[in-house]
Structure 1
Amino acid sequence: MLKKLTHIFNTLQMEVTDMKITKIEYAATGAFSKTITDYLCRSEKLRPFYNHFPSLDAFEAQIKEKSFSLEQRQALHKALQRQYSSIAEVNPKVKQNINLLLEPNTFTITTGHQLNIFTGPLYFVYKIITAINSCKQLKEKYPDYNFVPVYWMATEDHDFAEINHFNLFGKKHTWETEQSGAVGRFATEGLEQVLEELPEAYPVFEEAYRKSNNLADATRAITHALLGEYGLVSVDGDDAELKRALIPVIEKELTENLSNKLVEEANAQLETLEYKPQVFSREINLFYLKDGLRERIVQEDGRYKVLNTDISFSQEEVLQLAKEHPEQFSPNVILRPLFEELILPNLAYIGGGAEVAYWFQLKKVFEAYQVAFPVLMLRNSALYINRGNANRMHKLGLQPEELFQDYQDLKKYMSSQLHEKDIDLEAQRQTVAKVFAEVEKLAENIDPTLVKTVGAEAQKAHNALQMLEKKISKARDSKHEQTFKQLENLKDKLFPNGSLQERYDNLLTYKTNNPNFIAALVEAFDPFDLKFTILEEE
């Protein structure tokens, strides 16, 4: 079975610094949903749910479809200037990209993620590098245009439990705080305790968490320090001026429940095609947002109420609030993508498998607001095998693409490869018996009383050979068990908790031992080849 699976791997190997790079199909990893593998195969069933497939050639049409005025560019530029005032010394490449956003031939390639402390799982960085490399390739393809990589900071998210921890060298570190509401507004108090728990000092994070006013500023500082040299621009949507673009959407959401109707239509179509919707829509896909508070807005008894509070509004009052203070409204997962596209000259959104899948639910919403639906790009995914694990892998006689198999299947495969003939000393027993038979004849001729003694010694020799046979067999089996234990340990290291490494391990786990880790990823990732990347230290 394994040989058949290995045969379907489409591998491409090349030298990248001291890395060997192997590319395999996403389907071959067994770690991605049918929705995503169908999308990458351009299944016709999914065609109604997206605009252009993510190829370099598709961006010519996407550029023509994207409408973004000078007024919108000026509002974005002004907001970014204000937001980046928290950075003491902005990288010249970042400054240049922020200024380029004023030009009509400049577009963005965006990814987004929560404000995970210490960047959270590895894929946080993988997303951003995918955006950076997409911009580089697009610039080569379309030299008359500029392309800016953007990290959309999910500052308004309030699910603190999802961002308050990370795993470093197998140990979980957690930030404890009693703060509530939008996490981007959280003061960084308490993070100094996490810093003190770490096995060594990490200056980028020390600086950000000890000197920033809030988590949004700290996260911007971290992404700027780690990836500013590539021109990355981080955008915070929790901004009163940027929220003005959302006013018409807020009004329709409150009075017509427009997005919910359209998403439910898309969900029904997806379910008919046996695709499971990733996110669920509400009648009103908005939260009420204030310091320490982000709660859903619901309509009850003719009034608009904020759940878990005593706050409520008449329709006239809530619409007036939307006009005067749109920053007090926060889009949920259904409307946030639309908000992004309203305030950015964006061409593509880069997300993980679940993200790309939920964007399929949103195309009708974009059409209703006459906003160009971006190209949906799956972020690069990777397995990083350091030199020690690479050596263990090769000693086991395995190739990196074989590691994605289930442990039991891989064990069966290795057992077949390790197969040896059963240990059998029967021939030796017969030889010894023949020798003792000759001795017995000699003894009988000289002194018949010695025959019993010879027979007893013959039986002892027979028993000794049987015991040796068992011991040798047991030693061989023990040797194989050690091999299987080594395989199990290798799988645990490369697939912690049975999942992809990128979904568990933190950036520092690898950057600590390899300062060039980010540069290696930048060199290895190709966003448009639609393959899973294996990086192996040599």
Structure 2
Amino acid sequence: MRLEKLRLPLSQKLTHDYVYDYNKVSAFYTYEPYLQESWQIRHQKLRNRTFTHREQLVEGLRSYNLSIGNHANAIENIEKLRHDTTYAVVTGQQAGILTGPLYTIYKALTVLQVAREQAEKLGAEIVPVFWIAGEDHDIDEANHVYVMDGMEPKKLALDFADAKRASVSHLTVDAAQLHGYIDEFFALQLPSEYTVELKGKLYEFAGLSSTLSDFFARTMAWLLGEQGLILVDSASPFMRELEKKGFSRIIRYNEEINQRVLAQGERLLDAGYHMQVETAGDNAQFFLYREGERVGVERLPNGMFQTRDGRERYSAKQLLALLDENPEQFSANVVSRPLMQELIFPTLAYVGGPGEISYWGLYKDYFELLDLDLPILLPRLGFSLLDHTVQKHMNKHGLSLQDIFFSLHDKREEALKSLDTIGIEDRFAAVRGEFEKIYVPLIEEVESIEKGLFTLGQKNLKRILDQVAYYERKVEMSFINKNDVVLRHFDRIAAELFPMDKPQERVYNIFGYLNRFGMDWFEQFIRYPFEITGDHIAAFMD
């Protein structure tokens, strides 16, 4: 595997500046991410904090990870969290079918790499944690993957017709349903020496899983557990117990938290950025579970709280009592989830995607209100995997990585133009120009005979030029058909690296690549000591 780095503009302007020009955004964050001094300062601050619930955390993590069949190395890392000198690097993602888009794997790979790297640099025990956002109810994001079908990505969705606003961790699935989905996925893959093993493993996990989140967790544990990755489902009962302290603060400081988040958002807007998270001043920043669905909660002007459907109303005191008795009824949202993570795990750093890094820019002031500071926020590693076919087409047409990512369309047009030995566009333009040069003076002269002849001549000229244009299109189509192979080379590159005009890592799924390259490749990939920078990595597959 050969690697090349390139600097790509990030999808969020705030995150782009965070990565490449931190001084512009330092007012919105606590630590500069690629400065080792930041890690040392954060490490020291964590050493001065006490996490009295470590035993409870370890027992919950241990029970959960054993239940999903995680590797002994992950269990060993969990045991390390009993000690006050062990810290965590955390990432997270909603549970997706077959692990969802590639970037889910890249997030996990990043925390594994960072934990290893910083353990050595800081001389401390640091464990990698993957937070499964099982509470999320965005089913349309979690229920599908894309598979390349010819030159077009094809969406394969698992049907959850009655899901409504149920959390992913509560979405029940049965083995037959998952088996059918697995069969459909691999039916669109070219059979390889790895296909039978991969399908067998996924069938096994399907038979052991009762929810989509469970299927996701077992698959992730198989892929990454040997590397020591700890998995945690945020919807687990033991997590609700540990989140009591966080929800209590959200309830008691609700108005002040919202004020700080909104004020920070205004400062971001004034600085030329936009708020990644749209939130209102009356948003209570948590949900309540009602009849299996997550229902938003709002704060009323009189200080009371009510569910957004208007059915239930609570005082802060009543909510705190409900929290104490039934914490499983509460669920965090995008604003409160980072607080839960900060209070539960001794978090050295959080690894996120561009959008996540951007929305964390709203939280610094509200963390400070609660006597906390943001962890180090590290953008996940980003990759593009270039297979043999893409590399062959690049070599044939002399394309560099810069050409591929910044001017592929222009290079495609240049390649076509180089094959056009007669100069179709220029020749036809010249013919039209010459004809108009001869014909226009003629119809102007005959106007002296009869005025109507000039108008008739203009119409006649237009018909002739339309016929020339029609013939030109026919010639161009014939030329394109003759050189279809070249166009397909460029289309294949685009389909592989920019499906649906999106980055590869946001569309395709890891199992398509496991089926092509096997588990040996994957194990080498996740163990490779990638340098942690904001640059994108192109991996040329052997």
Q: Is the 8 A contact 1:63 1:347 kept in 2?
A: yes
Per-residue CA shift, 1:344-373, capped at 9, x if unaligned?
Answer: 011111111111111111111211112231
Counterpart Cα distance in 2 of 1:408 and 1:26: 17
Aligned residue number for residue 260 of structure 1: 258
Counterpart Cα distance in 2 of 1:357 and 1:163: 22
Aligned residue number for residue 179 of structure 1: 163
Aligned residue number for residue 275 of structure 2: 277
Aligned residue number for residue 532 of structure 1: 536
Q: 1:150-169 to 2 correspondence within 5 Å?
A: 150-169=129-148
Q: Secondary structure at the match of 2:377?
A: strand
Aligned residue number for residue 220 of structure 1: 217
Quote the offset at 1:417 in angstroms.
Answer: 6.8
* Aligned with residue 76 of structure 2, among 69, 84, 96: 96
Q: Is the 8 A contact 1:187 1:213 kept in 2?
A: yes
Aligned residue number for residue 458 of structure 1: none
Q: Is the 8 A contact 1:188 1:210 kept in 2?
A: no
Q: Is the 8 A contact 2:137 2:167 kept in 1?
A: yes
Aligned residue number for residue 498 of structure 1: 501
Q: Is the 8 A contact 1:266 1:361 kept in 2?
A: yes
Counterpart Cα distance in 2 of 1:535 and 1:63: 33
Q: 1:183-202 to 2 correspondence within 5 Å?
A: 183-189=168-174, 190-198=177-185, 199=187, 202=199
Q: Any unmatched runs of 5+ in structure 1?
A: 1-18, 424-471
Counterpart Cα distance in 1 of 2:513 and 2:247: 43
Letter in 1 for 2:260: L
Report whether the alignment pairs 1:21 with 2:19. Answer: no
Per-residue CA shift, 1:363-403, capped at 9, x if unaligned?
Answer: 11211112231111110111101112211221111123321
Q: Is the 8 A contact 1:182 1:291 kept in 2?
A: no
Q: Secondary structure at the match of 1:320?
A: helix
Q: Is the 8 A contact 1:511 1:518 kept in 2?
A: yes
Give the length in aligned residue pairs: 467
Q: Secondary structure at the match of 2:240?
A: helix
* Aligned with residue 512 of structure 1, among 501, 504, 515: 515
Counterpart Cα distance in 1 of 2:497 and 2:96: 22
Counterpart Cα distance in 1 of 2:259 and 2:379: 27
Counterpart Cα distance in 2 of 1:20 and 1:197: 32
Aligned residue number for residue 100 of structure 2: 120
* Aligned with residue 72 of structure 1, among 53, 68, 73: 53
Which range moves more in the overlay, 34-43 or 130-139?
Answer: 34-43
Quote the offset at 1:123 in angstroms.
Answer: 0.4
Counterpart Cα distance in 2 of 1:318 and 1:304: 8
Q: 1:355-504 to 2 correspondence within 5 Å?
A: 355-414=356-415, 482-504=485-507
Q: Is the 8 A contact 2:264 2:362 kept in 1?
A: yes
Q: Is the 8 A contact 1:259 1:334 kept in 2?
A: no
Counterpart Cα distance in 2 of 1:285 and 1:134: 30
Q: Is the 8 A contact 2:54 2:82 kept in 1?
A: yes
Per-residue CA shift, 1:30-76, capped at 9, x if unaligned?
Answer: x5332222112234220011111122442111101125435221121
Report whether the alignment pairs 1:45 with 2:43. Answer: no
Aligned residue number for residue 68 of structure 2: 87
Quote the offset at 1:105 in angstroms.
Answer: 1.6
Aligned residue number for residue 286 of structure 1: 286
Fraction of identical pairs, as percent: 25
Q: Secondary structure at the match of 1:383?
A: strand
CA RMSD of aligned residues (A): 2.7
Q: Secondary structure at the match of 1:32?
A: coil
Letter in 2 for 1:280: E
Q: Secondary structure at the match of 2:295?
A: strand
Per-residue CA shift, 1:439-491, capped at 9, x if unaligned?
Answer: xxxxxxxxxxxxxxxxxxxxxxxxxxxxxxxxx99998876664244213321
Q: Is the 8 A contact 1:348 1:375 kept in 2?
A: yes
Per-residue CA shift, 1:154-186, capped at 9, x if unaligned?
Answer: 010111111011113333221112234111122
Counterpart Cα distance in 1 of 2:410 and 2:100: 31
Aligned residue number for residue 439 of structure 1: none
Quote the offset at 1:296 in angstroms.
Answer: 0.3
Q: Any unmatched runs of 5+ in structure 2?
A: 188-194, 425-474
Quote the offset at 1:327 in angstroms.
Answer: 2.4
Counterpart Cα distance in 1 of 2:420 and 2:271: 46
Counterpart Cα distance in 2 of 1:54 and 1:318: 37
Aligned residue number for residue 333 of structure 2: 332
TM-score, L = length of structure 2: 0.80
Q: Is the 8 A contact 2:250 2:336 kept in 1?
A: no
Quote the offset at 1:196 in angstroms.
Answer: 3.5
Q: Is the 8 A contact 2:65 2:232 kept in 1?
A: no
TM-score, L = length of structure 1: 0.80
